Chains A and B, each alone.
Chain A
Amino acid sequence: MSEVTAESLRVMILGMEAIFVVALAFWALILLLRKAFPVGK
């Protein structure tokens, strides 16, 4: 495996991990916002 391919695999793993962490963070954030600011308040 070339150095570039190995590096691209490393970026893929880190990138997908980071995107899922951000997605989970945004999910929690939306639930928090909905809870803190319900309709009518």
Chain B
Amino acid sequence: MSQWSHLAVGFSGLTVGNVVMFAVGAILIYLAVKKEYEPMLLLPIGFGAILVNIPFSAATGEHGILTLLYNTGIATELFPILIFVGVGAMIDFEPLLQQPMMLLFGAAAQFGVFATMVVAAMLGFDLKEAASIGIIGAADGPTSIYVATRFAPHFLGPISVAAYSYMSLVPIIQPPIIRLLTTRNERRIRMEYKHIRISKTVKILFPIVVTLVAGMLAPISVPLIGFLMFGNLLRECGVVDRLSKAAQNELASLVTLLLGITIGSTMGAEFFLKPETLMILGMGIVAFAFDTAGGVVLAKFMNLFLKHKINPMVGASGISAFPMSARVVESMGTNEDPTNHLIMQAAGANFAGQISSIIAGGMVLALIK
């Protein structure tokens, strides 16, 4: 009988919090499998949340595998940085190089990062915690993880879950805000799209020059922007196709898998089941809403002075969530006028958002000591 009780030691240590976290893990897995909300991340995060909440689990603790993964991959910032190499190799910056003006929308759509930081500070979070919560508005998982690891590792779980969940919910979050801020006539504005051919030299030089400029302005952002642009250089140079494909596929997949389960392992009941978690999840939506508003309002402001008007919906694509945001704008545009296609302009703004979100992360790190 005593041997049996030894085997069932997990049950004896089970708490209500653990059971709730099993349910949270199951919900994340359900969202990943049934709803296909960022399944590459939410599924491993959900399973990691279950693993870490099994009482006396050998996967956690000083020598547990999840602790090892956390210490080597998250605490050192290795996993998010490696993800950037893969993301960079996946991005074709051509739509942005054709329409560099879209960079302004990428910048405006970072408003959510900073506005949410102010809201979080007003709610009583300290500045570093507030900045980590605000960075959910970067709509860029690795950037959120990178900043949260430095500034508020105790909130890494909820911040990551919010960042990835809301990215997949962009088609639900953005349209009502865009409708609220625009008139039907504005949503029907047509934008001329001129196809400009970009030389291979420009495509190769772009990642190098951007790294140099961003690095000189904010050296702390070099790991973020540098590895993103390194991945992009692999893609564009045309002579290391094997490395580019490895970065896009094997590297990105393997690191995503490890990153997800390791983030899940930060979701122990004692850390996750706090009122702050709900506040962070709530502020994540606020961040995405402010992002959207920032881009739309800038486009409307620019229209006061421009001869060729901008469809303000394109401004909303300045967030980093690619390609969801560009698709939302294209879909809303064709709903208003089936012959009005905005996908190329929105894609340009979306790519600008990817660069700007990383710059925003770097600025947050540089400005807060």
Chain A residues engaging chain B, CB cutoff 8 angstroms: 2, 4-5, 7-9, 11-12, 14-16, 18-20, 22-27, 29-31, 33-34, 37-41
CA distance A31 to B130 in the complex (A): 37
Is B127 within 8 A of A22, CB to CB?
A: no
- Total chain B interface residues with beta-carbon distance under 8 A: 46
Is B206 within 8 A of A27, CB to CB?
A: no
Chain A residues near B218 (CB-CB < 8 A): 18
Does B183 touch A at the CB level, under 8 Å? no
Closest to B218 in A: A18
Is B364 within 8 A of A11, CB to CB?
A: yes
Q: Which of B101, B103, B206, B360 has the most CB of A within 10 A?
A: B103
Residues of B288-312 at the interface with A, using a CB-CB cut-off of 8 Å, are none
Is B113 within 8 A of A15, CB to CB?
A: yes
CA distance A12 to B97 in the complex (A): 28
What are 23 A-B pairs with beta-carbon distances under 8 A? A2-B121, A4-B125, A8-B120, A8-B130, A8-B131, A9-B118, A11-B364, A11-B367, A15-B110, A15-B113, A15-B114, A16-B110, A16-B114, A22-B107, A23-B106, A26-B100, A27-B100, A29-B209, A30-B96, A30-B202, A33-B205, A33-B206, A34-B202
Chain B residues engaging chain A, CB cutoff 8 angstroms: 96-97, 100-101, 103-104, 106-107, 110-111, 113-115, 117-118, 120-122, 125-127, 130-131, 196-199, 201-202, 205-206, 209-210, 213-214, 217-218, 352, 355-356, 359-360, 363-364, 367-368
Closest to A6 in B: B121
Chain B residues near A29 (CB-CB < 8 A): 209-210, 213
CA distance A41 to B360 in the complex (A): 35
**Other 5 A-B pairs with CB < 8 A, given A4-B130, A23-B356, A27-B103:** A11-B368, A12-B114, A15-B367, A16-B107, A23-B103
Closest to B113 in A: A15
Question: SS class of chain B's interface: helix, strand, loop or mixed?
Answer: helix
Q: Which of B130, B201, B206 contacts A30 (CB 8 A)?
A: B206
* Closest Cβ–Cβ distance, residue A25 to chain B (whole Å): 6
Is B111 within 8 A of A25, CB to CB?
A: no
* Closest Cβ–Cβ distance, residue B259 to chain A (whole Å): 26
Q: Which of A22, A25, A30, A41 contacts B97 (CB 8 A)?
A: A30
Q: Which of A8, A20, A27, A40 contacts B117 (CB 8 A)?
A: A8
* Closest Cβ–Cβ distance, residue B147 to chain A (whole Å): 12
CA distance A9 to B209 in the complex (A): 31
